[in-house]
Amino acid sequence: MKFKVCKNLEYVQGHLTSGHGAVIVEAESEEEALKLAKEAFEDDNYAVEVDSYKIEDCGDFYGEAYFDNVDFED
């Protein structure tokens, strides 16, 4: 059995290196979906998702360790 055990850090310092905007639309065709997505992006009605980041430094651990709710396949 595998467990993911985590512990909090005092801080994490770094920067985001890339990301993208994403929208979920209901449409009858790809063309309609692209039109609706274009409108959403123009209206700033989208979610930003981080693709990659660079961690430059982090603080010490604090608090108690805890289990993350992740199921691992053996």
Q: How far is CA 15 from CA 1, 33, 43, 46, 68, in A?
A: 35, 32, 26, 21, 24
pLDDT in tens, the chain (74 residues): 788 899 999 999 999 999 999 999 999 999 999 999 999 999 999 999 999 999 999 999 999 999 987 666 65
**What is the pTM assigned to this prediction?**
0.59
